[in-house]
Structure formats: C-alpha cells, structure tokens
Amino acid sequence: MKVAILGYGKMGHELERLFVEAGDEVVTKIDNEEDWKNQGEALRTADVAVEFSMPTTAVSNLFRCFDANVPVVCGTTGWANDADKVLEKCKATSNALVYGANFSIGANLFFKINELLAKMMNNQPQYEVTVEETHHTQKKDAPSGTAITTANLIVNQLDRKNGWFLNDAAAAVQEDKIAVTAHRLGNEAGTHIVHYQSDSDYLEITHKAFSRTIFAQGAVRAAHWLVNNKGIYLFNDIFMQI
C-alpha cells in the first residue's frame, strides 16, 4: 500500500515506523507549506493518506486529499468547528474519510463503557460527574478532543447535564454542565479519567496511554481498512471491525 504522511511530527514519525514495518511504502511526508510546494504532487500517487498535523492545518490538508481523490485517515483534533464543511466536501467529492479524537482501541472501549455508565447514572442524581485529562506540554488544544468526546457522550445520557465547561482557574462552576479539567505535564501520552462522586462513595473510569504507539497502531489499521471502503466514518464506528 502507498501512503502519504501529512504532518511529520511526533505522530508522523511513529506512523512512518509502523507503515514501514508493515511493508507499506511511504510515498511522501509533508510537514509544512514548503513541503506541499515541493512534494505535494506525490499525494496523488498514494492509496491512502494519514493526517496528523495541527488544528490550524488539518482542514486545508483534508481538502487537498479530497481534491486529489485520496482516502484519508485524520487523527488531528481541534477542528470540530469546521467539521460540517469538511464532511460536506468529502461527500461532494465521493471520497473516503476516517476521523476521530482517539485512535486507541482502549480509549474507544473507554467511550463505550462511559456511555453505558452514564446511562445507568441518569437515575442516580446523587453522583456528580467530572472529566479530567492530562497530556504532554506541547499539546496545542485544551481540553483534549478525547475529553470533549467523553463529556459530550455523557451529556447525551444524563438529563441533569446540558453541556461541559473548561474548568480552568477563571471558570465559574456551572451546575448543569460537566467540569472538564485539563493538565499539561511532561511527556504524558494521554490520560483520561471520568469521576463520579456522591457524599458516600466514589467511582472512576480511567484510560491511560503509555506512549503514542497505541494511536499510531490504530491509524495504521484504519488506513489498511479504508483503502477497501468508501464513505465517512468515525474511528469509533469501525474500531470493532479492525
């Protein structure tokens, strides 16, 4: 399989290592606008592209994949405000896209477990729910896409919550919303915790990634899956199949 790597930072390097290990050929690695000028044409020769760049560059990179008619797996987070126009363009050009806030299988099990738990907690108003995440200091967005996905899926199940807020120093407590706390620490690959606390007890569900390899493995598996499929998928939709 011929692969284009869009965003050759920490994830891009890990992806290259795993694709090469899997016997795939990396036809181009693009890490900035200069690379797009010099090597952008090579995108057209790829069977699939993987996009792990930055919140500010993901959308234009996805558009480039759609224009080149190359299926794309996008793990970059922080572009939710532009999601409608991305999905529209993908559909209009009959392209294929897998995207998601978290490409680890464990984190997707964490989503499913939290959905189920929140459903059961709807009848247990004595529990207050909060979400907490910790990532490395170079992470650009806060809270993480995974924390936002988790908070939203809990909100969808709990009648007593209608949204979430970033629980930073300036935040005022909002009883009807879930407090999401974001920590930036060292080289942490990503820890997410959902807390439920009553006056008498405490329950938590945790997912902790030990390294970026787990996300890159998910992206490589999604890329192999996507070359044989058409349409738009959340990683969450396909992870049971890969």
Ligand X SMILES: NC(=O)c1ccc[n+]([C@@H]2O[C@H](COP(=O)([O-])OP(=O)(O)OC[C@H]3O[C@@H](n4cnc5c(N)ncnc54)[C@H](O)[C@@H]3O)[C@@H](O)[C@H]2O)c1
As annotated, the active-site residues are: 135, 139
Rounded Cα distance between 82 and 63, Å, is 12
Give the per-residue contact string, 95-124, with ligand X (x = CB under 6 A; - = no). -----xxxx---------------------
Could you give the angle at which helices 10-21 and 213-226 cross, rounded to 10 degrees? 60
**Nearer to ligand X among residue 15 and residue 96 (C-beta):** 15
Amino acid found at 190: G
Rounded Cα distance between 8 and 44, Å, is 18
By CB under 6 A, residue 150 contacts ligand X: no
**Nearer to ligand X among residue 11 and residue 155 (C-beta):** 11
**Minimal distance, residue 210 CB to ligand X, in Å:** 13
Q: Which of residues 191-220 bind ligand X (CB under 6 A)?
A: 212, 215
**Nearer to ligand X among residue 32 and residue 38 (C-beta):** 32
**Nearer to ligand X among residue 132 and residue 133 (C-beta):** 133
By CB under 6 A, residue 160 contacts ligand X: no
By CB under 6 A, residue 7 contacts ligand X: yes
**Minimal distance, residue 73 CB to ligand X, in Å:** 9
| Token pair belonging to 70 | 């190359």
Q: Could you give the C-alpha distances from 79 to 76, 86, 99, 146, in angstroms and in order?
A: 8, 9, 11, 13
Query: Binder to ligand X among 11, 96, 131, 223 (CB under 6 A)?
Result: 11
| Token pair belonging to 37 | 């000028």
By CB under 6 A, residue 28 contacts ligand X: no
Instruction: For residue 21, give the 3-state DSSP assignment.
Output: helix
Degrees (nearest 5) of the Cα angle 22, 145, 128? 130
Sign of torsion over alpha carbons 233, 219, 110, 145: negative
By CB under 6 A, residue 143 contacts ligand X: no
Q: What is the CA radius of gyration of the chain?
A: 19
By CB under 6 A, residue 233 contacts ligand X: no
**Minimal distance, residue 154 CB to ligand X, in Å:** 19
Query: Binder to ligand X among 22, 31, 160, 213 (CB under 6 A)?
Result: 31
Rounded Cα distance between 16 and 22, Å, is 10
Listing DSSP states for 113-146 in one string gives HHHHHHHHHTT-TT-EEEEEEEE-TT--SSS-HH
Rounded Cα distance between 133 and 171, Å, is 16
Q: Tell me the residue number closest to ligand X, measured at CB.
A: 9
Size of the site for ligand X (CB under 6 A): 28
Give the per-residue contact string, 42-81, with ligand X (x = CB under 6 A; - = no). ----------xxxx-x---x-------------xxxx---
Contacts with ligand X by CB under 6 A lie at 6-12, 30-33, 52-55, 57, 61, 75-78, 100-103, 138, 212, 215
